[in-house]
Amino acid sequence: MKAFVRAAAWVLLLMVAQPAHSEDTPLAWRDWDSGFKEARRQKRIVLVDVYTDWCGWCRRMDRDVYSRPEVREYLQRTFVTVKLDAEADKLGLYQGKAATWRALAAQFGVNGYPTTVFLRPEGEYITRVPGYVPAERFLDVLRYIGDGHMDRGVSFQEYLGKAAKGR
């Protein structure tokens, strides 16, 4: 019996002593205004997840893409993440003017959900990616934008070719 208790104590100790994994750290989604404040402070690109409450593909993006450890870790290191409900009449400040979240989504050309919009910390539009994107391809998009390949004039296809050779 003592051997069992001792073994159980060791197992419990090992479980408690395990370092926290990033898998346990949820993605920090911010609202519009606080996201831009954070982006300007950290000088990071803003990733805006434009969604609606009724959108099944948006829920799937949350479940199958944003929850993936490699996606989450890259986002946390490189971007400031913002959720924007495209049907909400909440107000946000964009380039010095107040606008509803609904109007912001329209301003970025969003006409389907989910859509991922990328903006510079000052609000300058970079690009948008419409629709659900599987995790592996979404990570390619994140690295393409986050690592500055797009800013250097590299096409996405060229980037994918180079990335495939490096794997």
Tokens of 34: 């606080």
CA distances from 129 to 23, 66, 108, 111, 113 (A): 25, 15, 11, 11, 10
**Is there a domain that residue 158 lies in?**
no
Rounded to two decimals, what is the model's pTM? Answer: 0.83
CATH code assigned at 103: 3.40.30.10
- Chain CA centroid to CA 17, Å: 30
Q: Which residues of the chain have pLDDT under 50?
A: 4-22
pLDDT at 162 (0 to 100): 85
The pLDDT value given to residue 26: 84
pLDDT at 12: 42
Strands 115-119 and 125-130: antiparallel
Beta-bridge partners for 92? 99
In a domain, 149, yes or no: no
Read off φ and ψ for residue 77, nearest 5 degrees. Answer: -80, -30
Residue 101 located in a structural domain: yes
Neighbours of 157 (CB within 10 A): 8
- The maximal CA–CA distance of the chain, rounded, in angstroms, is 71
Q: 74 in a domain, yes or no?
A: yes
The total number of structural domains that make up the chain: 1
Residue 121, domain extent: 21-133
Which tokens is 75 given? 């986002």
Q: How far does the chain reach from its first CA to its final CA, in angstroms? A: 52
Residues 42-85: tens digit of each pLDDT: 999 999 999 999 999 999 999 999 999 999 999 999 999 999 99
